[in-house]
Amino acid sequence: MRRIRLTVAYDGTDYCGWQVQNNGATIEGELNTALTQLTGQKVKVIGASRTDAGVHARGNVAVFDTESSIPPERFLYAVNALLPEDIVVVNSCEVAADWHPRHCNTEKTYEYRVLNQKFPDPMRRRDTYFVSFPLDLEKMRKAAGYLEGEHDFKSFCNVHTHVENTVRTIYRLEVIREENVITFRVRGNGFLYNMVRILAGTLIGVGRGLIDPEEIPAMLEAKDRQAAGMTVPPQGLTLVKIDYLDGGMES
């Protein structure tokens, strides 16, 4: 029995998230089906990040166990032939039998993209959140600076988050504008449920002038979801990569 590690990219628009559910198609479900068909044995992948419905990824990570004789580096070619076109395995390799994608020291990088112009662009509706109001880039960058570092992000997670410790570290939160697209690029040691979408919503509030950058420390201190900005829709969010610090592997 071997454990194979996959790096997976996908457009999450038409899926009910990563994790298998009863109410619709999921990324995990499609991988399980394709790998079961490929190997001839029932496969259940273990994912590193259980992205929500509508969220995309360029570098999510999953593992599965198999007795198949297919060379590890060839799995991506074989399984991609069986996957729908909006899910692509971009790398495959063998890892230790006890290696688990969620039980490692990692850094994750997400991007949230905002289309900031007068009218929507139908070609960008699946991967950006449309905002017609002018956004002040410098104010958003100033606010982002307050969010970097180790903080209790209880104000910046969904009220249904079930974790005891809501302290996380953001190593870098960049606000980048390229033509009419503003990207919030955030790298941290872990993220709470809806945390990146709430961070983005708060920064948009700052950009619109609804929130002063200097209010951010008080939001953090409040530890109250109502203190922070809105939760923006999922389509602007992409899991860019996962860096595995212990094993030296990068998605």
Query: Residues with catalytic annotation?
Result: 52
Residue with tokens 């919503």: 201
C-alpha distance from residue 72 to each of 77, 94, 162 (Å): 10, 6, 36
Report the C-alpha gap between 45 and 32 in whole angstroms.
Answer: 6
Sorted by sequence, the CB contacts under 8 Å of residue 209 that are 6+ apart come out as 136, 139
Q: Which amino acid is at 241?
A: K
Give the dihedral sign, CA 113/191/204/129.
positive
Nearest CA-CA partner of 173 in 163, 159, 183 = 183
Give the dihedral sign, CA 233/172/47/80.
positive
> What are the φ and ψ backbone dihedral angles of 75, each rounded to 5 degrees?
-60, -40
Helix or strand run (H / E) with residue 145: helix 137-147
Contact 108, 192 (CB under 8 A): no
Sorted by sequence, the CB contacts under 8 Å of residue 86 that are 6+ apart come out as 10, 11, 13, 14
Report the C-alpha gap between 230 and 177 in whole angstroms.
Answer: 21
